[in-house]
Each structure stands twice: as structure tokens, then as C-alpha cells.
Amino acid sequence: EDQVTQSPEALRLQEGESSSLNCSYTVSGLRGLFWYRQDPGKGPEFLFTLYSAGEEKEKERLKATLTKKESFLHITAPKPEDSATYLCAVQNAGNMLTFGGGTRLMVKP
Amino acid sequence: GAVVSQHPSRVICKSGTSVKIECRSLDFQATTMFWYRQFPKQSLMLMATSNEGSKATYEQGVEKDKFLINHASLTLSTLTVTSAHPEDSSFYICSARTVGGGLKETQYFGPGTRLLVL
């Protein structure tokens, strides 16, 4: 059974304080690892897909990296508007997504 | 990125009535769509997978007679909550998966539908 564990569950940062969110996974035949951002009362917004260990992707203040066991979402100099829940999901060989519990990020000005 | 819409965004209904939620992929064709349910401060729970033109596949514990799914076209899937009860109140989110092309294979999510059953 595929499993995804995200840590921490919640993270409070001061504006400008860089940090990383972790996503540990076990999956049968990884086809892709996805990061989404979800704001309260809204659907998840697609951020990145990573396909193989060693791959990195960046978008503004976010950078996602992938190893064979985990992925990190690095947030550099976050701003209050980065506050959201960040979801990690793995897609297995059968194309099914398994989500982690998410990390609630709060960035204070 | 691809756009997925849902309608309605919010619905309040009386117990015992049925509610239909529409999910559309606006700028791509989706042979596979997914329906999720999300409770407050929890992650998404997959309810069912629907493939265009065939019956939906339901996850364990999801009543297929209560949550009717129709995927009649490559851009539209509907979820009907039949005889809704207060415990069905939740946030329902649909997702559509792209196939190949410039978007690669990615699941894009709709904005969600908040259902409140009184």
C-alpha cells in the first residue's frame, strides 16, 4: 500500500525566514510526485511534478527536490501570501494518487 | 496550467433531497476524472474514479448507490448525492487528469463544492 507522510503538520515562520517541508513516501512504481498548494475553502492548486530522483523544480520562492524516499519543498524568504496548506501526493504505476496529510504553513509579517 | 471548474461552489439543501455537482475540464479532454471528499483540516479522500463512457470505480466504504457518478463526455463528470443527510456535509472536490501532450500527465483540481445538508 502506498503511503505518504508529510512533516511538520504545521509550521509557523516569520516573513523572510526560509524553511523546508518534508514529504516521505513509499510507493509501488513511482510515476510522479506532485506538490499542490491549497488555500482554505478552495481546491488544490498544482505546483510541481517531479519524476525521478535528483530532479529539482523551482517557481518563485518555492523549490522542490526529490530523492528515492522523500521530497522537500524549500521556501526561500517566504511572504505572508505563501501561507496555505501544502499537499504532497505520489502517483503509482496504476496512475493512482495518494496524498499526504499536508503541512499548514503560516507566515507572519 | 489546465483549468477545471465545478458548479455549484456552495449548496445548502434539506435532508432527504438530492444534489448534483458538475465538474468540467475547460481547456483539455479528460478521459479520467476523480471525486474527492475533504473534511476540515484533513487531507483529500478519494471517493471514486470515473472513466468516460464506463462505470465509476468506487473506493472501499463509499456507497455507489448514494454517490452517483456519471462521466458522459470527455469534459464533464457529475456527482449526485442522493437522499442527502447531515453527515454528507463536506467539501467535495473533483479532479481531471491530462493525458500526454505539453501538460504531461497531471491531475488538476476544481475549486471544490461546499455541501451543507440541514
Q: Is the confidence at residue B103, as pLDDT, over 60?
A: no
- Give every CB contact of residue B110 below 8 A, 6+ residues apart in sequence: A43, B4, B5, B6, B23, B93, B94, B95, B96
Helix, strand or coil, per DSSP, at residue B86: helix
Does the beta-carbon distance from A95 to B4 stay under 8 Å? no
Mean pLDDT, rounded, of chain B: 91
The predicted model gives B44-58 an average pLDDT of: 90
Q: Is the confidence at residue B90, as pLDDT, over 70?
A: yes
Tens of pLDDT, residues B4-24: 999 999 999 999 999 999 999
Q: Is the confidence at residue B84, as pLDDT, over 90?
A: yes
The predicted model gives A70-88 an average pLDDT of: 97
Does the beta-carbon distance from B107 to A97 stay under 8 Å? yes
The predicted model gives A80-97 an average pLDDT of: 92
**Residue B43 contacts A, CB cutoff 8 Å:** yes
Which phi and psi angles does B109 have, rounded to 5°?
-105, 150
With cut-offs at 50, 70 and 90, classify the pLDDT of residue B43. confident
Residue A6, all three cell numbers: 508529510
- Give every CB contact of residue B90 below 8 A, 6+ residues apart in sequence: B37, B38, B39, B115
Closest Cβ opposite residue A102 in set B43, B110, B114: B43
Does the beta-carbon distance from A32 to B108 stay under 8 Å? no
The predicted model gives B45-68 an average pLDDT of: 92
With cut-offs at 50, 70 and 90, classify the pLDDT of residue A53. very high
Answer yes or no: are the C-beta atoms of B38 and B111 closer than 8 Å: no
A100 CB neighbours in chain B (<8 A) are 43
More confident site: A34 or B99: A34
Strand partners for B37: B45, B92
Angstroms from B12 CA to nearest CA on chain A: 15
Does the beta-carbon distance from B108 to A46 stay under 8 Å? yes
Q: Which of A36, A45, A96, A97 to mutate to test the interface with B (most CBs of B within 10 A)?
A: A97
Residue of B nearest to A84 (CA): B41
Residue B30: the pLDDT is 87
Under the phi-then-psi rule, with left for phi > 0, alpha for psi from -120 to 50, and beta for the rest, what region is B54? beta
Residue B106: the pLDDT is 84
